[in-house]
Amino acid sequence: MTTPRPPHDALALAPEVRDALADGHPVVALESTIISHGMPYPENVGMARTVEGLVREGGAVPATIAVIAGRPTVGLGDAELELLASDGSVPKVSVRDLGRVVSTGSHGATTVASTMRIAGLAGIGLFVTGGLGGVHQGAESSMDVSADLTELSRTPVAVVSAGVKSILDIGRTLEVLETLGVPVVGFGTDDFPSFFSRSSGVPVPMRLDTPEEVAALARATWDLGLQSGVAVANPVPAEAEMPRADIDGVIAQALADADRLGVRGKDITPYLLGRIVELSDGRSLRTNVALVEHNARVGTQIAVALAATR
């Protein structure tokens, strides 16, 4: 069985997170790029606070992760959440950027990839987010594939998302995850969810229906010494989903706008997310908040089940 590792020395852990990890209590990691670059202010900070509350209600300790003054920080205070949400100068930090913000003593908002890595260094096995990065449309020439996928192949953390939105190439994203050896779970669904909608038309590689089954899969994967994460795709609740016909038109327009403006690299995902909120008159933001809250509820149940497998 797995014995808990002590957290890496370079991390700053909130006392409550440190205690929970030492005692084997469930902890849920949360990312900060979704706060700084994924939603507008003040909905972003409202979402961050609500999600932390839902994790507590479910019986786990929330650990929002960011780099604060050069320290990878696990468990933020309210003033830090507010800063990340409202200060537009905090950069998006993926794994390649971690050394830079640490060596310069700066703040950074961590993506799925860098949040996974820091969660792994802390000894946290479960991480809740909204949407995963993946293979961008046109990646066969741009080679734009999110570092989130690389990280899923090498860090043993389970990530609960609402799937992959169709700003990305969903089929190719699942192909790359297969190549990288990452288990991908449809939680209570046979159809891989597409973030704003419950379906994508692409079948899930594996379906599981309970938090206990997901926890058992993750534990078995790690007990074998496999260093991969587990991607858990949890569909948006039916009452909050957007019809695919509506959101597809918005996404097509956002992609065309990005192309016309020449937006690329690390800026493309934040640009598209912001443009989708504008083009949908805020409708997509309500769906986004609802799906993150739902992921927090389900992810907390998985964290509780995972703590019971030790």
* Catalytically active residues, by annotation: 31, 165
Which one of ligand PSU, Mn ion, none is in contact with 123 (Cβ closer than 5 to 8 A by kind)? none
> Is cis: bond before 6, omega within 30 of 0?
no
Q: Measured from the CB of residue 190, what is the shortest distance to ligand PSU in angstroms?
A: 23
Give which of 183, 254, 239 is closest to 213, Cα–Cα: 183
Other Cβ atoms closer than 10 A to 201: 11
- Closer CB to ligand PSU, residue 21 or residue 66? 66
Q: Would you say 174 and 184 are in contact if contact means Cβ atoms under 8 Å apart?
A: yes
Q: Measured from the CB of residue 158, what is the shortest distance to Mn ion in angstroms?
A: 23
**Pure H helices in 170-307:** 170-179, 211-223, 244-261, 268-279, 283-307
> According to the binding rule CB under 6 A, does residue 130 interact with ligand PSU?
yes
> According to the binding rule CB under 5 A, does residue 144 interact with Mn ion?
yes
- Closer CB to Mn ion, residue 112 or residue 307? 112
- Closer CB to Mn ion, residue 80 or residue 148? 148
Task: Please state the separation of Cα 83 from the chain's center in Å.
Answer: 20
> According to the binding rule CB under 6 A, does residue 147 interact with ligand PSU?
yes
- Closer CB to ligand PSU, residue 161 or residue 304? 161
> According to the binding rule CB under 6 A, does residue 148 interact with ligand PSU?
yes
Q: Up-side HSE of residue 230: CA atoms within 13 Å toward CB?
A: 29
**Pure H helices in 63-199:** 78-86, 98-103, 112-122, 139-142, 147-152, 170-179
Q: Measured from the CB of residue 43, what is the shortest distance to ligand PSU in angstroms?
A: 13
Distance CA 70, CA 100 (A): 9
Which one of ligand PSU, Mn ion, none is in contact with 114 (Cβ closer than 5 to 8 A by kind)? none
Q: Measured from the CB of residue 144, what is the shortest distance to Mn ion in angstroms?
A: 4
> Using CB atoms, what's the residue nearest to Mn ion?
144
- What is the identity of the amino acid at 7? P
Q: Would you say 125 and 25 are in contact if contact means Cβ atoms under 8 Å apart?
A: no
Write out the residues near Mn ion by the rule CB under 5 A.
Answer: 144
Binding site for ligand PSU (CB under 6 A): 31, 33-34, 38, 111-113, 130-131, 133, 146-148, 266, 269, 273
